[in-house]
A and B are shown apart, each in its own frame.
Chain A
Amino acid sequence: MTVSSTISSTTTSAATALQLEGISRRIGARTILEDLDLTVSPGECLALLGPSGCGKSSTLRLISGLDSPDSGRILLGERDITALPPARRQVAMVFQSYALYPHLSVARNLSLGMEIRGVDAATIARDLDAVLELLQLGELRQRRPADLSGGQRQRVALARALLRRPQVFLLDEPMSNLDAQLREELRPQLRAILCGGGAPVVYVTHDQQEAMGIADRIAVLDAGRLQQCGTARELYHRPATLFVAQFIGRPQINVLQEPDGSLLAVRPEHLHAVREGGLQVRVVSREWQGASQQLQLDTARGPLRWVCDGGRTIGDAVRIAWEPQHEHRFAAGGRRLTP
């Protein structure tokens, strides 16, 4: 994408890696983040995934400099930026609410920052045209944010971030205000625009599908602690904690109590029907979703969820089994047990 490369930061600054070392933040008695270690390579997109209140937006604010950590360091390339004020950090952030200046037109929203930073008029005009074309905002130049749809506002916010030529891109749930269909459409576009350049991208979301679609690696957070950081495949096939196993994968993984106190987990899509052996189950409810169907089962070992092909007819009583390699075992505290 030649237009994208004129905007991306590789042309102006060397690609830098982002590193968080031992970041902690507390507000009063509440721990927001506890000893967080993260590394994002140049051009990589890292998703911060987790439920509300897990500290992912807080991490973003710490990287941008809007808040300060209580301990730990933030490194951009070789530089320690922990003490640097936000205006000097050269980061661009797309807020959840987009934070477009309501009293300015789209063109002015985009060009004002560059003017303030002292960019000359010719470069402003050229970059403005390039980014408007890239994000298909050409006809919306003179409109005010109030006259734009949600998707258009998001693109303007993204354009503003691109024009910043930052060393890090930060996105705080940028798609949460959009409807599901628009999200599906925009996801690949967003990835193509952002993850091509040299700047690392940190993407906060609570939606695992979005994380898996956009990011190269995913960091799962719970209550301020990093649970696991890895590719989507790693998180899916080898969850390090029970929390990760339950958070990744839809429908949610089945968890069964073992007699020795540990927990056995099997994904609903890894169950299959057998003629003999296995577990006797009774079908409680079924949801047919076209390509697949989701069933709630009642068994001697507790309730189970099962996902199978939509074309099959399932009776009311079946026998269910699963391959041993699809089992995950966790200690009572949530830590993974199997090697």
Chain B
Amino acid sequence: MLWQLYTSLRTPDALLGGLAAIGRGWTLANYGQILSSDPPFWRYLLNSTLVGVGTTLLTLLLAIPCAYALQRRGGLQRQLVDGALLVAAAFPSVLLFLALLQLARQFGLANNLLALCLPYAGLSLPLAVLLLEAAFAELPRELEESALLEGFGLWQRLRWILVPLLGPAVASTAVLVFLFSWNEFPIALTWLSRSELLTLAPAMARIAGSSVFSVPYGAFAAATVLGSVPLLLLLLVFQRPIVAGLTQGAIKG
């Protein structure tokens, strides 16, 4: 990160000049170049954010009930499903992008940011379900039984008792899903062609490959720095719940 920050502030000559050129050649021109491109850079950030948030919400919406059902059911059924999920989570998703492209053509899902959330959610679900299953297992059974005897229905138990107690686990899972969506490249590259719809990863690839003559290191680095700022903010905001999730064990009934 620091190296990217340094690179982004240097002119191309200064980068090639070595240590002797440290005194001169500091510039904000790279940032200028990035921010004044057409369409503007913040557009890519917005697109990535949109897709990221959509993916995270969709994944959590599906993963929480699924993880609850699996964890409570137990037995052979659960072990089989867990095994399948593990295989799916470990599978190199990049191998699927051709098949996904075919689906996009068939159902007209190309050049649609919300449609992009679908494959992202699908690819994130296995890991999300496994993580949340482990989180549900941590909750003492008696807590839910007590709520049951008090007259809570299933959704009421999830809403008032179980999901609030899962807070840290849900936060860490959400961050992981968001990060995956933010950094994802091949599917975004093939599903989006209109430049105003591009997410960050393919947009930055275009910047890198824009000139035939030289790699615009400075501009690329500036894009990296700007693209990382939202992620850093996200981590700062969620760091307490994430650490709490890591050091969990304080829940006693």
Contacts and interface: CB of A to CB of B under 8 A. Distances in A.
A11 to B, nearest CB: 19
Nearest to B150: A113
Contacts of A100: 253
Interface string B152-194: 1100100011001100000000000000000000000000000
A159 B109 CA distance: 56
B148 interface: yes
Contacts of B146: 93, 95, 99, 160
Contacts of A92: 149-150
A102 B252 contact: yes
A87 B146 CA distance: 10
Contacts of B161: 101
Nearest to A101: B161
B149 A86 contact: yes
A215 to B, nearest CB: 22
A86 B148 contact: yes
B23 to A, nearest CB: 57
Nearest to A64: B149
B153 A112 contact: no
B156 A97 contact: no
Interface stretch (B4-12, B58-66, B95-103, B137-145): B137-145
Contacts of A89: 149
A305 interface: no
A160 B253 contact: no
B151 A117 contact: yes
A56 interface: no
B150 A99 contact: no
Size bracket of the A interface: 20 to 34
Nearest to B154: A87
B16 interface: no
B80 interface: no
Contact of A87 (B151, B164, B250, B253): B151
B253 A102 contact: yes
Interface residues of B, number: 21
Nearest to A93: B149
B251 interface: yes
Interface in B45-91: none
Contacts of A66: 145, 148-149
Interface string A97-115: 1111111000000001100
Contact of B140 (A99, A112, A113, A160): A99
A154 to B, nearest CB: 12
B156 A102 contact: no
A95 B145 CA distance: 10
A98 B146 CA distance: 9
Interface in B237-253: 250-253
Contacts of B148: 66, 86-87
A99 B160 contact: no
A291 interface: no
Contact of A99 (B145, B153, B165, B250): B145
B196 to A, nearest CB: 44
A100 B152 CA distance: 14
B156 A99 contact: no
A155 interface: no
A180 interface: no
A61 to B, nearest CB: 9
A113 B164 contact: no
Given A66-B145, A93-B146, A99 B253 contact: yes
Nearest to B152: A116
Interface string A70-108: 000000000000000011010111010111111100000
A97 B140 contact: yes
A164 interface: yes
Contacts of A117: 150-151
A66 B141 CA distance: 11
Given A102-B251, A102-B253, A103-B164, A97 B153 contact: no
Given A100-B253, A102-B251, A91 B151 contact: no
Contacts of A102: 165, 251-253
Nearest to A65: B149
Contacts of B140: 97, 99
Interface string A131-148: 000000000000000100
Residue of B156, B165, B252, B253 most packed against chain A (CB within 10 A): B253
B165 to A, nearest CB: 6
B138 to A, nearest CB: 12
A265 B146 CA distance: 44
Q: Which 5 residue pairs across A and B have the least CB separation, nearest first?
A: A113-B150, A99-B146, A99-B142, A97-B253, A99-B253
Given A99-B253, A164-B150, 7 more contacts: A64-B149, A66-B145, A86-B149, A87-B150, A98-B253, A99-B142, A164-B149
9 contacts: A86-B145, A87-B153, A95-B253, A97-B252, A99-B146, A101-B147, A102-B253, A112-B160, A113-B147
Interface of B: 140, 142-143, 145-153, 156, 160-161, 164-165, 250-253
Interface of A: 64-66, 86-87, 89, 91-93, 95, 97-103, 112-113, 116-117, 146, 160, 164
